[in-house]
Amino acid sequence: MINQARLVKTFTDLVRIDSESKNEIDVAIYIKNKLKKLGISYKIDSSKELTKSNHGNIIATLGKNKKYPTILLSSHMDTVTNGKSIKPIIKKNYITSDGRTILGADDKSGLAIILETLEVLKKSKLKHCNIEIAITTCEEIGLLGARYLDYKLLKAKEGIVLDSTSPERLVFKGPSSDYFNITIKGIEAHSGINPEHGLSSIAISAEIITKMKTGRINKNTTINIGRINGGSAVNIVPGQTEIMCEIRSHNERKIKSELSKIKKTLTAANKKYKKINKNFNASIKVNRIYNSINIPKNIFIIKSILSTCKDFNYKVDLVETGGGADANFFVQNGINTVNLGTGMREFHTTKEKLILKEFYQSANIVLNSLIVKS
């Protein structure tokens, strides 16, 4: 029932529209026009006041039959950078860009599947679950659209986010994530005249970093140092350095434990260097980005997806992930939301591609998981 040619056209239309984070307005106009043609009403929330995007999240509903469950479908409108003037190239088995840019399958493949699903169900007489859609902004810069979405506009208690790789992977469990910034305030001094009067924040940062365990800490925990900024000039002993990091884990106690070790390292640095200059300071600021998800395997949407895959002889596995998605915030707000792959690969790179067989398979899974079996 999925119209593959129409699905591909919708996808290629979408990726030709520039929509890097905070600049989603043009792709939002495309989606709203599609919804209007289908006779599906929609609302725009006020999230842009907090995300600083030029458009809010789009919320729409199809179906109001109280006998059937309400299921959320969601994807995000934004892409990462290097996403302007994308030219999709359709090949036999996949779609890619012309090599100058990303493709934008993350997450316009998900958007295309949602729009195709709505069109099939709207134009058919098939009995289906009530559907809510939440099309978000600013996912790529911290899940901001989902973070600030107006959840009072949604009634669904279960849902599907289409924002992963293979449709053979149904993500039901994911980690919490904290960003943490370490600030080292050293003492500036002229590097040639009186360097002994200074305390190099960069050198002390290096000392601290060597004592931090990074990479994979255990099966379900990772720590990464993503950026370092420090110093003002090559002839000045650097006064301040920022170390920007993240920790992800399925285990909250492990997050607390690892952060505690880092804090002890900073305490030791303060004890050591405040003896030299009382104005020295090493501090840490932790910011929770999103909470973990652990969806019960017996909820309606998981059972429906597994049943659909069995009917069509599709392989599918319930999997854990080390990444985050809008699903984390939906779960946090009472909507048990799984993440289904769409066929995207090597996303965020100029080698990004969308595997057509998997793209069609994902769309077929979504559609048939929403049809009410008599």
List the catalytic residues: 78, 139
Distances (CA, A) of 72 to 156, 157, 162, 346: 6, 8, 11, 27
Cα–Cα distance, 155 to 157 (Å, whole number): 7
DSSP type of residue 325: -
DSSP H helices, 200-311, are: 201-210, 252-273, 300-311
Cα–Cα distance, 306 to 17 (Å, whole number): 34
Longest CA–CA separation in the chain, Å: 85
Cβ partners under 8 Å of residue 333, min gap 6: 149, 151
CA angle at 165 for the pair 140 and 88, rounded to the nearest 5°: 75
Give the other-Cβ count within 10 Å of 75's Cβ. Answer: 27
Q: Which tokens sit at 176?
A: 């919490």
- Give the DSSP per-residue string, 66-129: TTS-EEEEEEE--B-SS-SS---EE-SSEEE--SSS---HHHHHHHHHHHHHHHHHHHS---B-
Cα–Cα distance, 79 to 236 (Å, whole number): 39
User: Could you give the dihedral angle defined by the CA atoms of residues 119, 78, 327 and 58, in that order, rounded to the nearest 10 degrees?
Assistant: -50
